[in-house]
């Protein structure tokens, strides 16, 4: 039965998303529901529907109703309730826009639904720096903050074609494999359902993109992956006997989500240093830097996906190392790649500046020459030369 479900769920969600997206694109053009390229930070140049998240949510909801009740996920109702809150938040923002403070408040409500009555929260430091048990309220606060971080991280990296969907697809596949190894049947099938949804969406999000996932899809994707992360970390505590367990689970999660998490923390730090609000819009994301270096959408996405896959391979290969060592390795790798990107971008900026200076110098010379020509051709200059 499990083999049957594991094949049927991703295929069915893929078909559902494909069908739903075609209908959403049709309705969006009829009702003029587009993401307008009206801001300088946006990199698309044509009006594009941005309700792909509606198709992802609908297919996930159908899969949850049909297949997951038989698998016995203990937190299923609370996860579904949180997803519904996230869905309406994202849909409101996609259709009419939403104040960032209100959006964060709504995300906080969704996180608390899962963490507090749902009982899905971290209870251990996993032996990090010798710490073990985590006090209840600390576990609740850390879990809520983690859900908010990952949810917003996927929303913030959804800036170029296939990036958020591609990273989410890779992470979902790896989580499905991890849950299968752990014999977590319900979460294994839920991760497969998300894989099918994202695969169906990516068909229409390739350049030239026919649809974006919007805040509806990006927030939902981040929310679900944050839930998967907490379940994975919590079920791999040191000392707990399982058929298959993974040491250094937090480092594995960081490796899976390194691109969105690191980019979000990096951008927040840069904005705070510049005296801006953390959620103010600009072009300081890593994918914007790659676009500015001359890469296309798909090339920039390919580079970041390759980095993410290499990081995942590294943390899974060396998952038996100490947690501190693995975490330091992931952070060091991210910092190294950021340094390389900074050097390349700085070199590009210096070339732009030099080219601009050369253009300005040529304009000054042309203006000076034009002024001399105008003077010599003027009647006063002609009379002066005649008198001489």
What is the signed CA dihedral for 246, 248, 222, 74, rounded to 10 degrees? 50
Nearest to 256, CA basis, from 300, 302, 311, 215 = 311
The residue with greater pLDDT, 306 or 348, is: 306
Give me the pLDDT at residue 179, please.
94
Distance CA 10, CA 127 (A): 36
Contact by Cβ (8 Å): 193, 186: no
Tokens describing residue 61: 């909801």
Q: How many Cα atoms occupy the beta-carbon half-sphere of 116 within 13 Å?
A: 10
Nearest to 218, CA basis, from 162, 286, 283, 173 = 162
Q: What is the pTM of this model?
A: 0.89
Which backbone phi and psi does 133 adopt, to 5 degrees? -65, 140
| pLDDT of 146 strictly over 90 | yes
Q: What is the pLDDT of residues 185-228, one digit of tens each?
A: 889 999 999 999 999 999 999 988 999 999 999 999 999 999 99
Read off the pLDDT band of 125 (50, 70, 90).
Answer: confident
In the chain, where the domains are located: 2-344
Give me the pLDDT at residue 327, please.
93
Q: What is the pLDDT of residues 219-257, one digit of tens each?
A: 999 999 999 999 999 998 876 655 557 888 999 999 999
Mean pLDDT along residues 281-286: 83
- What are the angstrom distances between the C-alpha of 361 and each of 66, 162, 365, 370? 69, 42, 6, 14
Q: What is the largest CA-CA distance in the chain?
A: 108
Which residue is it, tokens 């296939």?
162
Give me the pLDDT at residue 384, please.
53
Contact by Cβ (8 Å): 210, 48: yes
Distance CA 227, CA 202 (A): 22
Share of the chain above pLDDT 70, in %: 89
Nearest to 83, CA basis, from 59, 51, 49 = 59
Give me the pLDDT at residue 127, please.
77
| pLDDT of 37 strictly over 80 | no
Share of the chain above pLDDT 90, in %: 60
Give me the pLDDT at residue 253, please.
97
Mean pLDDT along residues 28-47: 71
Give me the pLDDT at residue 115, please.
96
Nearest to 16, CA basis, from 194, 228, 163, 186 = 194
| pLDDT of 380 strictly over 60 | no
- What are the angstrom distances between the C-alpha of 19 and each of 58, 110, 191, 202, 229? 11, 28, 20, 13, 30
Give me the pLDDT at residue 381, please.
52
């Amino acid at each position: 039965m499990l083999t049957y479900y594991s094949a049927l769920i991703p295929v069915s969600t893929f078909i559902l998303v494909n069908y739903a997206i075609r209908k959403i694109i049709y309705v969006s053009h009829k009702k003029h529901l587009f993401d307008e390229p009206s801001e300088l930070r946006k990199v698309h140049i044509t009006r594009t529907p941005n309700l792909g998240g509606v198709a992802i949510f609908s297919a996930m909801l159908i899969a949850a109703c049909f297949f997951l009740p038989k698998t016995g996920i203990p937190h299923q109702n609370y996860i579904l309730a949180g997803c519904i809150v996230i869905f309406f938040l994202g849909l409101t923002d996609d259709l009419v826009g939403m104040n960032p403070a209100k959006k964060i408040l709504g995300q906080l409500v969704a996180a608390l639904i899962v963490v507090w009555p749902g009982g899905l929260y971290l209870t251990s430091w996993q032996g990090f720096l010798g710490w073990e048990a985590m006090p209840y309220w600390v576990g609740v606060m850390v879990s809520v903050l983690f859900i908010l971080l990952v949810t917003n991280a996927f929303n913030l990296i959804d800036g170029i074609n296939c990036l958020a969907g591609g990273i989410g697809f890779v992470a979902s596949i790896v989580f499905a494999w991890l849950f299968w190894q752990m014999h977590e049947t319900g979460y294994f099938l839920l991760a497969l359902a998300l894989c099918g949804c994202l695969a169906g969406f990516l068909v229409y999000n390739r350049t030239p993109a026919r649809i974006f996932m919007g805040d509806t899809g990006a927030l939902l994707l981040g929310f679900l992956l944050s839930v998967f992360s907490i379940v994975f970390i919590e079920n791999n505590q040191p000392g707990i006997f399982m058929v298959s367990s993974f040491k250094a689970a937090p480092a594995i999660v960081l490796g899976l989500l390194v691109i969105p998490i690191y980019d979000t923390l990096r951008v927040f730090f840069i904005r705070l240093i510049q005296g801006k609000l953390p959620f103010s819009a600009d072009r300081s994301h890593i994918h914007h830097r790659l676009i500015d270096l001359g890469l296309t959408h798909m090339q920039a996405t390919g580079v970041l996906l390759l980095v993410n896959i290499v990081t995942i391979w590294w943390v899974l290969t060396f998952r038996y190392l100490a947690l501190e060592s693995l975490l330091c390795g992931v952070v060091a790798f991210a910092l190294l790649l950021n340094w390389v990107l900074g050097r390349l971008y700085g070199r590009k900026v210096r070339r732009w500046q030099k080219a601009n200076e050369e253009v300005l110098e040529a304009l000054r010379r042309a203006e000076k020459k034009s002024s001399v020509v105008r003077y010599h051709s003027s009647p006063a200059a002609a009379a002066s030369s005649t008198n001489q």
